[in-house]
Amino acid sequence: MMPSHIKQLFFLPVFLLLLSGCGQFPKDPEKTLEQVTNGTLHVGYSENPPWVVKGPGGPTGSEPDLVKAFAKSINATIQWQNDTEQNLLENLEKNKLHLVIAGITEDSPWRNKIAFTRPYAQVGKKKHVFCVIKGENAFLVKLEKFLHQQQSTLETRLKP
């Protein structure tokens, strides 16, 4: 029984090569990235200055600025939704939103229900994250790469 297993294992690298050849990788199980690219990005925000500040013309602050730039990079229009953090994250869990910002840090207990991006900035001991739908890996990777590219400009801006 063992020898056949060993042979099968040797096919793995070949299999992986084939995989990397076929377009978008990783993919989204629910196709989030596909839907928002050239489409609408549903973003929930909850006030938490200076990260998110509620204003008459929509949210301002460092996190809304990042979201706006990200939406522009994938040619998406933003549909803002303002609510409490609790309601927003519950909606995110039900896939009714694509993204939630509220100055949330990595140690938030919500980490088991929804997914966090890797910390995009660290202020003091607090690592700041965006909240996304669990398992939508193409969208997550796109967003994380975008945030990483902003990191150097961000950190100079966030310095007190």
Listed in order, strand segments (DSSP E) in 1-95 are 40-45, 77-82
Distance in Å, CB of 117 to other proteins, minimum: 7
Distance CA 156, CA 82 (A): 28
Residue closer to other proteins by CB (options 26, 65) is 26
Nearer to other proteins, 72 or 118 (CB): 118
| CB neighbour class for 119 (10 Å; exposed up to 12, middle 13-18, buried from 19) | middle
123 contacts 69 by C-beta, under 8 angstroms: no
Q: How far is the CB of 148 from other proteins (least distance, A)?
A: 6
- In the bound state with other proteins, the residue whose beta carbon lies nearer, of 28 and 63, is 28
Tell how strand 121-123 and strand 126-128 pair up: antiparallel
Q: How many residues interact with other proteins (rule CB under 8 A)?
A: 29
Within 54-73, the residues that bind other proteins by CB under 8 A are none
Among 115, 121, 131, 154, binds other proteins (CB under 8 A): 115
Site string for other proteins, 125-154 (x = CB under 8 A): --------xxxxxx-xx--xx--x------
DSSP-assigned beta bridge partners for residue 82: 45
Residues 133 and 12: their CA atoms lie apart, in Å, by 30
Sites of contact with other proteins (CB under 8 A): 2, 5-6, 9, 12, 15-16, 19, 25-29, 31, 112, 115, 117-118, 133-138, 140-141, 144-145, 148
